[in-house]
């Protein structure tokens, strides 16, 4: 198993070992000891399965107090996955990075606490399996509208399918406007 660092500290792209033969392939989706070696030392308490059709955007979601880290894997299809840094003390506060996850590349993304998460379905359908470090609490939901002008995410879809709930999410400025991005020190 390999791990690739990303531009957002703590967000890790995981490349599990995949063993192919004439019958198909085998891969471990999660093995605590293996992930601990990658410095993903979390206790996951809830597994979720999400099914969506092409053009759906879900997100950008996070929990406010009952923060969740997530380990995300696409088991069927392909998505454009996005993590947004919501840590005010981070030099990457308000910045995002995207990843293509699919059943073909078998990659996983680890998104730590204090990040918003969203995705867009690129294939006809997609099934995502994701592990969370805390339970979902409906009263603790936070979110940023997918089309936020400050984040300016380059979603690879025109006329996305978005839930009524997600259409009403606040902007980044509405939620974090009083928090200034910490600038990287000049060398």
The catalytic residues are: 61, 130
Q: Classify strands 24-27 and 46-53 as parallel, antiparallel or unpaired.
A: unpaired
Pick from 103, 155, 133: nearest CA to 10: 133
Which residues fall within 8 angstroms of residue 60, CB to CB, at 6 or more apart?
82, 84, 116, 117, 118, 143, 144, 145, 146, 148, 151, 169
> Rounded distance, CA 154 to CA 82, Å?
10
Place of tokens 């955007």: 57
Pick from 59, 75, 160: nearest CA to 111: 59
């Amino acid at each position: 198993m390999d791990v690739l660092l990303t531009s957002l500290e703590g967000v890790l792209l995981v490349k599990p070992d995949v063993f192919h033969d004439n019958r198909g392939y085998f891969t471990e989706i999660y093995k605590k000891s293996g992930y601990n070696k990658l410095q993903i030392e979390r206790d996951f308490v809830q597994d979720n399965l999400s099914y969506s059709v092409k053009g759906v955007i879900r997100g950008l979601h996070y929990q406010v107090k009952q923060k969740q880290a997530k380990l995300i894997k696409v088991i069927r299809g392909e998505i454009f996955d996005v993590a947004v840094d919501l840590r005010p003390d981070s030099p990457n506060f308000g910045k995002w990075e995207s990843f293509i996850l699919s059943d073909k590349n078998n990659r996983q993304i680890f998104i730590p606490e204090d990040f918003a998460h969203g995705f867009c379905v690129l294939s006809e359908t997609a099934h995502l399996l994701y592990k969370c470090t805390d339970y979902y609490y409906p009263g603790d939901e936070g979110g940023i509208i997918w089309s936020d002008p400050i984040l300016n995410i380059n979603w690879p879809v025109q006329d996305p399918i978005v839930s009524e709930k997600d259409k009403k999410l606040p902007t980044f400025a509405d939620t974090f406007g009083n928090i200034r991005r910490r600038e990287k020190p000049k060398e």
